[in-house]
């Protein structure tokens, strides 16, 4: 069994646009979307209730509400019982957006696993869970860093690949996998922006 080929295949999958999109949108919580889903579930909430439910600051909620209103997916209404109280409610456009998002996600998932049986999907999920446990273990992170710690050893590769060197630098300075992922995507975004400016 060629384990390196499996590693290569996983890396290739990770670089597919749909996977990058899913990683950014699915793993990193979007508080605006979370607020919209909360409103869809609860019906109407005050800004304070939203802040408490999502464990975010009132200032953040204020900015989120402004975004939702600008997108016409939520609106503020006065309480009929107490005019001093203002509620936030989801609009029909907001409900449609959530439906469209859910349907798009389901369609992508169905297309991705076309031809797989339920047992194959269960088995694949089990294998991926085990891989995730391994790759997020502190010992694995320390082991990887020990391989790439020498600047002299990897100088030639750094000269050949800017992506490699930036990823290595971020990995060596990161405390954990989450921090590495955040720094890496941020740096790659800046790098691609710089390339685009040069090409213009």
Q: How far apart are CA 196 and CA 188, in angstroms?
A: 12
Residue 48: C-alpha distances to residues 25, 43, 86, 104 (Å): 25, 15, 10, 32
Residues 127-170 pLDDT 10s: 999 988 888 888 887 888 888 888 888 888 888 887 788 778 87
Quick one: 25 and 110 in the same domain?
A: yes
Q: What is the pLDDT of residue 193?
A: 59
Q: What is the pLDDT of residue 200?
A: 42
Specify the CATH number for the domain of residue 32: 1.10.10.10
Quick one: 47 and 110 in the same domain?
A: yes
The answer to whether residue 146 sits within a structural domain is: yes
Query: Does the pLDDT at position 179 exceed 80?
Result: no
Query: Does the pLDDT at position 198 exceed 60?
Result: no
Q: How far apart are CA 109 and CA 187, in angstroms?
A: 29
Residues 6-62 pLDDT 10s: 888 888 887 787 777 776 665 556 889 999 999 999 999 999 999 999 999 999 999
Q: What is the DSSP string of 84-125?
A: T-EEEEE-HHHHHHHHHHHHHHHHHHHHHTTT--HHHHHHHH
Quick one: 158 and 193 in the same domain?
A: yes
Quick one: 1 and 75 in the same domain?
A: yes
Residues 68-85 pLDDT 10s: 999 999 999 999 888 899
pTM of the model: 0.65
Residue numbers of the domain that contains 179? 136-199
The answer to whether residue 122 sits within a structural domain is: no
Domain edge (last residue) among 86, 115, 144 = 115
The answer to whether residue 127 sits within a structural domain is: no
The answer to whether residue 124 sits within a structural domain is: no
Q: Tokens at residue 8, please?
A: 């290569």
Q: What is the pLDDT of residue 6?
A: 86
Q: What is the pLDDT of residue 1?
A: 62
Number of domains in the chain: 2
Query: Does the pLDDT at position 90 exceed 60?
Result: yes
Quick one: 29 and 106 in the same domain?
A: yes
Quick one: 99 and 182 in the same domain?
A: no
């Amino acid at each position: 069994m060629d384990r390196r080929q499996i590693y290569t295949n996983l890396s290739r999958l990770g670089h597919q646009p749909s996977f990058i999109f899913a990683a950014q949108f699915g793993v990193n919580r979007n508080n605006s979307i979370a607020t919209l889903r909360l409103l869809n579930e609860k019906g109407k909430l005050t800004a304070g209730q939203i802040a408490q439910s999502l464990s975010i600051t009132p200032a953040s909620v204020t900015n989120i509400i402004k975004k939702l209103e600008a997108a016409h997916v939520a609106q503020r209404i006065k309480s009929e019982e107490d005019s001093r109280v203002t509620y936030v409610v989801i609009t029909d456009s907001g409900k449609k957006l959530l439906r469209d998002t859910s349907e798009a996600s389901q369609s992508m998932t169905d297309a991705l696993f076309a031809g797989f049986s339920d047992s194959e999907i269960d088995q694949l999920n089990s294998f991926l869970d085990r891989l995730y446990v391994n790759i997020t273990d502190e010992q694995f992170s320390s082991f990887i860093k020990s391989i790439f710690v020498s600047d002299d050893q990897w100088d030639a590769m750094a000269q050949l690949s800017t992506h490699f060197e930036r990823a290595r630098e971020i990995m060596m300075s990161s405390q954990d996998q989450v921090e590495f992922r955040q720094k890496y995507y941020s740096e790659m975004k800046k790098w691609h922006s710089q390339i685009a400016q040069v090409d213009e």
